[in-house]
């Protein structure tokens, strides 16, 4: 097995799926009669909130780690993140018995630091700026020889995230008309779009994004990578701009990006909590919010939605 | 099919299960590595929070309704409750196309009233005393000829609730050493104990109850039905005293009742929310709280736990 250095093929995604199977859960696909009745659509929810570390990020991190040579892998895995990707890299390293080095800003929430350490990772703090983060990571990589797993600008990560949509297609029980994912850095969305392109070419790929951080929407329409002036959204997983790799794939294989308001995100999140009795983080309510916001696009359609994660501070809820 | 007027036999439970299958979900049995690691036990959670109307009560109400003759059933179903049982009776009546009459105290939360009405039931208000409730129900039954489905003092209801443990035994994948349920009025617990008696005689049946409303614990040890001086517990489904039928079955077939404190209930509830990413109501955290409180009883054992429901007001959480 070797690392991927070009856009993943259908075979690359299939092989990645087999490769990571021992390190991930095959999460369930759930349906909800009440939410179907509200939307007039047949919705199939892929529950990555039940994934290891509580988010789909485990897939990409596992794929990147498993595709290293034994010698490379033994030097360890590194990344900078204070979110789900940090825990995914830490957990992948733990499962493979190699060290993990996670660079985090010194003001990272204590619960994220403790969560990452609980998987045996070494946390290295840096000042809270993008420059300090990049510099500290380079320092760590130079000192340890660890492999840097980027949260999304890496074809191994993209191929790993693509496996969530592949399972959703396999388990939904019938052909889907639409596949949906939220978009932050674009790793999940570009993987989902590739999976649709190869395995469900009949399906539209519709992304969704908070209006407050609509860089992907603007990039999609302007043809160049745009940035956000503010990061003021409850969907904390979706504040990141695209990278070159994810931007190119999204331009090529995504059909539409729908923007939603903060109140719509909170409303959709609440419906999932109350009707489905499952815990999802705000970022993953964004596609359902789009279904509520543009009902005509989805009515009568079979729609697969990836629920990306369930890591939310339950003492700080927006309800 | 006819109504049950004696302690359900093994065959009665098996037949009840087949009878109600079209009206209920076969809910999943989930496991959680993190909680297993904390407790040293192998825990199998039967997720009745995913049941129709969000609680196991659907099983008993469906069984009682389906065992009526067509003529009896056509006159409708009645009960007094402002909780999950009210919604279960309403939903069973809706599925069967017959009227439902639900007596509720005039101070019942608006959300419970609306929830019950959303299944097409007629809500009849009464003063907020046990006497007023009983009188109003008698009036409704006399006027309509509807069948009164008691929340637990009814062998049809007990046989219905017994099917949750039956599915848990079938789906846990290996023989269980212990079966656990919380105890309020005792319908679920006595059904669970009957199922263990018939289908898993090797298993201990261990109930759990909030210390603040420990009437079942005291009844179990004194040999007569005891009552609670206060109802001051977060586990709002467990405030009810036992009835003669449930008391007799519990005395005969339950091995132990463990009492837990309010802080232990909230802690256990939080673990399930945070680790398993599923929403459970406080009452159903009570057995897991007992596992945390008495680890020596459960360590190294395969333990089936019925998670009874997920109907909680998410804007009023104890976290």
What does each of the 319 residues of chain B score in pLDDT, given as a tens digit? 899 999 999 999 999 999 999 999 999 999 999 999 999 999 999 999 999 999 999 999 999 999 999 999 999 999 998 789 999 999 999 999 999 999 999 988 887 898 899 999 999 999 988 899 999 999 999 999 999 999 999 999 999 999 999 999 999 988 999 999 999 999 999 999 999 999 999 999 999 999 999 999 999 999 999 999 988 999 988 999 999 999 999 999 999 999 999 999 999 999 999 999 999 999 999 999 999 999 999 999 999 999 999 999 898 898 8
Q: How far is CA A258 from the centre of its chain?
A: 17
Q: Does B270 touch chain A (CB under 8 A)?
A: yes
Asked whether residue B179 is assigned to any structural domain, the reply reads yes
Nearest C-alpha in B relative to A281: B277
B226 and B140 belong to one structural domain? no
Q: Does A38 touch chain B (CB under 8 A)?
A: no
Please report the pLDDT score of residue A82 as a whole number: 79
- A54-100 pLDDT per residue, tens: 999 999 999 999 999 999 999 999 999 878 999 999 999 999 999 99
Nearest C-alpha in B relative to A279: B277
A165 and A250 belong to one structural domain? yes
* Residues of B whose CB is below 8 A from A314: 270, 273-274, 317, 319
Please report the pLDDT score of residue A110 as a whole number: 83
Distance (Å) from the C-alpha of residue B156 to the closest C-alpha of chain A?
Answer: 27
Distance (Å) from the C-alpha of residue B106 to the closest C-alpha of chain A?
Answer: 24
Q: Does A54 touch chain B (CB under 8 A)?
A: yes
Among candidates A129, A133, A57, A134, which has minimal Cα distance to A92? A57
Asked whether residue B51 is assigned to any structural domain, the reply reads yes
Percent over 90 (pLDDT), chain A: 91
Last-in-domain residue among B123, B148, B173: B148
Q: Does B49 touch chain A (CB under 8 A)?
A: yes
Q: Does B27 touch chain A (CB under 8 A)?
A: no
Nearest C-alpha in A relative to B316: A319
A168 pLDDT tier (thresholds 50, 70, 90): very high
Please report the pLDDT score of residue A307 as a whole number: 98
Q: Does B282 touch chain A (CB under 8 A)?
A: no
Asked whether residue B4 is assigned to any structural domain, the reply reads no
Among candidates B183, B161, B215, which has minimal Cα distance to B283? B183
Mean pLDDT (whole number) for A138-163: 98
Distance (Å) from the C-alpha of residue B67 to the closest C-alpha of chain A?
Answer: 26
B114 and B200 belong to one structural domain? no
A253 and A193 belong to one structural domain? yes
Choose the closest CB to B314 out of A280, A310, A319.
Answer: A319
Please report the pLDDT score of residue A108 as a whole number: 85
Nearest C-alpha in B relative to A312: B274
CATH number for the domain spanning A131: value is 3.40.50.1100
Asked whether residue A317 is assigned to any structural domain, the reply reads no
Please answer yes or no on whether B277 and A277 come within 8 Å at the CB atom: no
Q: Does A182 touch chain B (CB under 8 A)?
A: no
Number of domains in chain B: 2
By three-state DSSP, how is residue B51 classified?
coil
Backbone angles phi, psi at B82, to 5 degrees: -120, 15
Asked whether residue A202 is assigned to any structural domain, the reply reads yes
Distance from C-alpha of B79 to C-alpha of B123, rounded to nearest angstrom: 10
- A169-208 pLDDT per residue, tens: 999 988 999 999 999 999 999 999 999 999 999 999 999 9
* Residues of A whose CB is below 8 A from B278: 277-279
Last-in-domain residue among A148, A166, A185: A148
Please answer yes or no on whether A277 and B273 come within 8 Å at the CB atom: no
Per DSSP, which regions of chain A are E strands? Answer: 29-30, 42-47, 77-80, 100-105, 122-126, 147-148, 178-182, 204-210, 256-260, 302-307
Q: How far is CA B70 from CA A113, A260, B97, in A?
A: 62, 50, 11
Distance (Å) from the C-alpha of residue A265 to the closest C-alpha of chain B?
Answer: 16
Choose the closest CB to A314 out of B28, B54, B274.
Answer: B274
Please answer yes or no on whether B277 and A54 come within 8 Å at the CB atom: yes
Asked whether residue A281 is assigned to any structural domain, the reply reads yes
- A273-306 pLDDT per residue, tens: 999 999 999 999 999 999 999 999 999 999 999 9
Among candidates B262, B308, B277, which has minimal Cα distance to B165? B308
Is A56 exposed, middle or buried, given 0-12, 13-18 or 19+ CB atoms closer than 10 A? buried
Asked whether residue B317 is assigned to any structural domain, the reply reads no
Among candidates B303, B279, B290, B288, which has minimal Cα distance to B49? B279
Q: What residues 294-313 of chain B have any CB closer than 8 A to a CB of chain A?
A: 310
By three-state DSSP, how is residue A25 classified?
coil
Distance (Å) from the C-alpha of residue B242 to the closest C-alpha of chain A?
Answer: 29
Counted across chains A and B, CB pairs separated by less than 8 A come out at: 36
pTM of the predicted model as reported, rounded to 2 decimal places: 0.93
The answer to whether the Cα torsion of A227, A229, A230, A233 is positive or negative is: negative
Please report the pLDDT score of residue A278 as a whole number: 98
Please answer yes or no on whether A310 and B277 come within 8 Å at the CB atom: yes
Last-in-domain residue among A107, A133, A148: A148
B118 and B250 belong to one structural domain? no
Please answer yes or no on whether B270 and A314 come within 8 Å at the CB atom: yes
B159 and B230 belong to one structural domain? yes
Distance from C-alpha of B275 to C-alpha of A197, rounded to nearest angstrom: 34
B195 and B302 belong to one structural domain? yes
B166 and B297 belong to one structural domain? yes
B133 and B177 belong to one structural domain? no
Please answer yes or no on whether A279 and B270 come within 8 Å at the CB atom: no
Nearest C-alpha in A relative to B319: A315
Contact B41, B303 (CB under 8 A): yes
Nearest C-alpha in A relative to B53: A275
Q: Does A274 touch chain B (CB under 8 A)?
A: yes
B104 and B129 belong to one structural domain? yes
Residue A111 has pLDDT above 90, yes or no: no
Please report the pLDDT score of residue A109 as a whole number: 81
Which range marks the domain in which residue B209 is found?
10-56+154-307
Residue A126's DSSP bridge partners are: A105
B44 and B162 belong to one structural domain? yes
Please answer yes or no on whether B279 and A273 come within 8 Å at the CB atom: yes
Please answer yes or no on whether A50 and B277 come within 8 Å at the CB atom: yes
Distance (Å) from the C-alpha of residue A215 to the closest C-alpha of chain B?
Answer: 30
Asked whether residue B315 is assigned to any structural domain, the reply reads no
A125 and A229 belong to one structural domain? no
Query: To the nearest whole number, what is the mean pLDDT of chain A?
Result: 96
Distance from C-alpha of B162 to C-alpha of B194, rounded to nearest angstrom: 7
Please answer yes or no on whether B274 and A49 come within 8 Å at the CB atom: no
Please answer yes or no on whether A319 and B319 come within 8 Å at the CB atom: no
């Amino acid at each position: 097995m070797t690392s991927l250095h070009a856009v993943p093929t259908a075979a690359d995604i299939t092989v990645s799926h087999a490769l990571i199977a021992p390190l991930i859960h095959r999460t369930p696909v759930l349906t909800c009669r009440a939410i179907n009745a509200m939307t007039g659509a047949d919705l199939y929810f892929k529950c990555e909130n039940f994934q290891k570390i509580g988010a789909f990020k485990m897939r990409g991190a596992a794929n990147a780690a498993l595709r290293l040579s034994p010698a490379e892998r033994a030097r360890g895995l590194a990344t900078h993140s204070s979110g789900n990707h940090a825990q995914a890299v830490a957990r992948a390293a733990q499962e493979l018995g190699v060290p993990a080095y996670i660079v985090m800003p010194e003001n990272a929430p204590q619960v994220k630091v403790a969560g990452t350490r609980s998987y045996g990772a070494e946390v290295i703090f840096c000042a809270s700026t993008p420059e300090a983060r990049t510099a500290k990571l380079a320092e760590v990589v130079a000192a340890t020889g660890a492999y840097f797993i980027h949260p999304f600008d890496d074809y191994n990560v993209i191929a790993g995230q693509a496996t969530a949509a592949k399972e959703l297609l396999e388990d939904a029980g019938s052909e889907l008309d639409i596949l949906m994912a939220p978009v932050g850095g674009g790793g999940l969305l570009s993987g989902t779009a590739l999976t649709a392109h190869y395995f469900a070419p009949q399906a539209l790929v519709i992304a969704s994004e908070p209006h407050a951080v609509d860089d992907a929407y603007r990039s999609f329409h302007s043809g160049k990578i745009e940035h956000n002036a503010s990061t003021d959204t409850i969907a904390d997983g979706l504040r990141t701009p695209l990278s070159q790799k994810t931007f190119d794939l999204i331009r090529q294989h995504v059909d539409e990006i729908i923007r939603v308001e903060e109140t719509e995100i909170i409303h959709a999140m609440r419906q999932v909590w109350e009707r489905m009795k499952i815990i999802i983080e705000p970022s993953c309510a964004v596609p359902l919010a789009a279904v509520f916001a543009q009902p005509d696009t989805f009515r009568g359609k079979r729609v697969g939605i990836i629920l990306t994660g369930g890591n939310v501070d339950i003492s700080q809820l927006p309800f």
